[in-house]
Amino acid sequence: MATWAIGDIHGCYNSLIELLKKIEFDPLKDKLWLTGDIINRGSDSIKTLEYIYSIRDSVIMILGNHEISLIEGYYGLRKPKNDIREILLMDNIDNIILWLRFQRVFYKNNKLGYCITHAGISPDFTLSMAKKNAKIIHKRLREYNPTSWLMEISKREVNKFSENLSDIDKEVYTLNSFTKMRFCDNQASLDFKEKGDPYGLTLKHSLLPWFRYPLRKDIKLKIIFGHWATLGFYEDENVCCIDSSCVWGIALSAYSLDNQNIVSVNCKR
């Protein structure tokens, strides 16, 4: 059995299938960890979503900000753009949304030595805090009707975590840090808007990639994440970003959690 993590697919179905063939993925015995944002921007979001749903028993699916937007659109809380609108017209959209609501924003496997989220783990979170707060988000998304909760969190933005925050503000911070985070300032306050070149922005605006914050809580497991096309593939001893900018015409990458091999396919924009 092999376990592979794959970065943001963004509807690039052909690239996904090419990559799976290249790594000889067998859904009957292998596992895929997906960093989220499997839809939108690319040309085949529906085919990508349908395929991943068809092999869902072999997938650890992490929710990205685009999946959260899709769920919000389904409940009428967001005016859907064209690609979201097409997905919402799928015949089995009710089952798809239910499946997505039961996926995760954070997952860890102590035996393999990895954890995975879409955007990373807040510099203010220990591993136990990440697990605890993610569990609350999972419970909220799996409520019989999460509309009121989704509506409430969409109205708020919380950039800094504190145990003194209200419960709803902690949930807003947790969801956004797992799905939207890239930069923080020198007080670990998160910036959810900047998405450019991490090196240039660090020099220009005194922003740091979240994983470079010097007082970041120690996470014993290596963190797999995506969400950051301008960062591209990046790896050090603590983290691995596998968003290698497929939808922008660079590559789609798979990272072996068994032997740290990296396999990529070239993509066309």
Q: pTM of the predicted model, to two decimals?
A: 0.94
pLDDT of residue 83: 79
Mean pLDDT by 10 residues, the chain (269 residues): 96 95 96 96 90 97 96 88 86 96 97 97 97 97 94 91 95 97 93 79 73 94 95 94 90 95 87
pLDDT of residue 193: 87
Number of domains the chain is built from: 1
Indicate which CATH number applies to the domain containing 227. Answer: 3.60.21.10
Domain enclosing residue 150, as ranges: 3-266
Q: How far apart are CA 233 and CA 248, in angstroms?
A: 13
**Cα–Cα distances in Å, from 4 out to 1, 143, 181?**
10, 30, 23
